[in-house]
Amino acid sequence: MSDSLSSLHPAQVRLAQAVLEEVLADGAAADRALARHIGRNRKLGARDRRWVTRLLFGSLRSAVGLRRRAGDEPAAWLAAQLAEVHAATAEDLARLGLPTPPPAMAEDDEARRNWPEWLNVAATARMDPDDCDALAAALRQEAAVDLRVNRLRGSREQVRALLAEDGVTAQPLEWAPDALRLAARRPLQQTQAWRQGLIEPQDAGSQLICELLSPVAGETVADWCAGAGGKALAVAAQQRDRGTITAFDTDAQRLRRIAERANRLGVRSIEVQAFDGDAPDAVFDAVLVDAPCSGSGTLRRHPDQVLRAVDLAAMAATQRAILDAAACAVRPGGRLVYATCSFLPQENDDIVASFLQAHPDFSMVPAAGVLGSPPADADDPWLRTRPDVHGCDAFCALRLQRAG
């Protein structure tokens, strides 16, 4: 963004401060809290929204160090962010109603990476320090906007041309067949492509997880932890809407969002089912488990997650239980994809290794044999996407085959 500091006004700062207060005091999700506040301030212009968003998420991308310096004082966070990133002077801060920022402190690995202690300990126990540094630096950047082209209604080149007519520049990603990456953030809801149901926002790494499942027309598919249905919708498009997809989740409210999204995209093959996590009576040709996890791989989009403690042992127990239940729903000869939006081996490699010991009828299918290399690594059976390599969130996924 090119807005100068002179375009920043006290009202914008007060709004950013109010949102940050909710995040720090109440544990609110930053994106949802921001949307609520912007929705209550309909007169905000585009520049106002940009500044509020920049202040909020810029501060959260330095949250570990800022919390050490200033506790949970939103005004101090914003003052430090403006002084260090935007070169705000004492006069600038006073004009904006902000205090003098607290003095900077020497940074250790946690503050430099913006990783809380639990994440830094877990990562450095299993990963090279230089690798941690590269990944952390990429996760502190703003995420790109990736779109999934809805192949039910058009080709990638057709959609790209249609977006260009509306002034939106997008580039195809060679290794993700339905992905377009925007050159810059743009509002999409008023574009022809959106109105015609030709596009859906979805990180390219998330799209690759669906490609790894490789569903074909006529198959029955279970999306085990479906949430709001992004992957179920992608699977439906891969099947040309000629299959049966059951979207399972324990959160019925999130499942209700699927119908509206499916209607816009012209998808008819998804049915939703709220459940308690136990295996249903039915069996499926393919099962996708996008397991609940620490979310360490999505810190670009959700930097507020560094403020929350994660019990990795409890998380691993949940992940293993979900994988065991989902495996029971895979027909003999069927396939199972396990995925997380975490880069930690404790939530990926360790879970599947334990699972395979208890389920000898399942075996690994190397990702490179399904997707090619890149994006997969020919020497690693897992699909692992990274922001510093692929420009995607950090996902891990593995395909498993059940013996016939």
Q: Is residue 121 part of a domain?
A: no
Length of the chain: 404
196 and 221 fall within a common domain: no
Q: Which of 390, 391, 366, 345 is nearest to 132 (CA)?
A: 345
Are 185 and 214 contained in the same domain? no
SS3 content of the chain, % helix, strand, coil (to 5): 45, 15, 40
The answer to whether residue 244 is domain-embedded is yes
Whether residues 300 and 362 share a domain: the answer is yes
Same structural domain, 253 and 330: yes
183 in Cβ contact with 170 (< 8 Å):
yes
In a domain, 116, yes or no: no
CA distances from 115 to 137, 286, 302 (A): 11, 36, 13
14: in domain: yes
Do 88 and 210 lie in one domain? The reply is no
Exposure string over 17-31, b if 16+ CB within 10 A, otherwise e: bebbbbbbeeebebb
**254 and 328 belong to one structural domain:** yes
pLDDT at 23: 95
Cα-Cα-Cα-Cα dihedral sign, residues 197, 209, 396, 177: negative
| 317 half-sphere exposure, CB direction, 13 A CA radius | 4
Q: What span, in angstroms and rounded, lies between the C-alpha atoms of 385 and 297?
A: 9
Write out the two tokens for 396: 């891990």
From the candidates 132, 210, 225, 341, which is the catalytic residue? 341
Residue 344 lies in a domain: yes
Residues 181 and 210 in one domain: no
What integer pLDDT is reported at residue 324 of this predicted model? Answer: 96
Residue 163's pLDDT is 97
97 and 190 in a common domain = no
* Structural domain boundaries enclosing 89: 5-106
Element (H, E) at 369: helix 367-371
CATH code for the domain of 190: 3.30.70.1170
Decide if 341 is catalytic: yes
Choose the final residue of a domain: 154, 171, 201. 201
Same structural domain, 392 and 306: yes
Q: Which pair of tokens denotes residue 9?
A: 């006004």
Q: Which residues contact residue 223 at a Cβ distance below 8 angstroms, ignoring those fewer than 6 apart?
A: 229, 231, 232, 235, 245, 246, 247, 248, 288, 290
The residue out of 154, 183, 201 marking a domain boundary is 201
Pair (177, 263) in one structural domain: no
Q: What is the pLDDT of residue 235?
A: 98
Question: How many CB atoms sit inside 10 A of residue 44's CB?
Answer: 18
Predicted local confidence at residue 3, as pLDDT = 67
Q: Which of 76, 106, 136 is the last residue of a domain?
A: 106
Q: Are 193 and 187 in contact (CB under 8 A)?
A: no
Structural domains of the chain, count: 3
Query: Is 124 inside a domain boundary?
Result: no
Provide the whole-model pTM. Answer: 0.94
Query: Is residue 218 packed enough to be buried (19+ CB in 10 Å), middle (13-18) or exposed (0-12)?
Result: exposed
Flag whether 131 is in a domain. Answer: no
Quote the pLDDT of residue 280.
81
Residue 128 lies inside a defined structural domain of this protein: no
Residues 243 and 328 in one domain: yes
Q: Do 197 and 212 belong to one domain?
A: no
pLDDT digits (tens, 9 = 90+) for 331-375: 999 999 999 999 999 999 999 999 999 999 999 999 999 999 889
pLDDT along the chain (404 residues), means of 10: 77 95 93 92 85 95 94 95 93 95 90 96 96 97 96 96 96 96 92 97 97 97 95 97 95 92 96 85 95 97 95 97 96 98 98 98 97 93 96 97 96
Tens-place pLDDT, residues 35-55 = 999 888 878 888 889 999 999
Looking up residue 369, the CATH number of its domain turns out to be 3.40.50.150
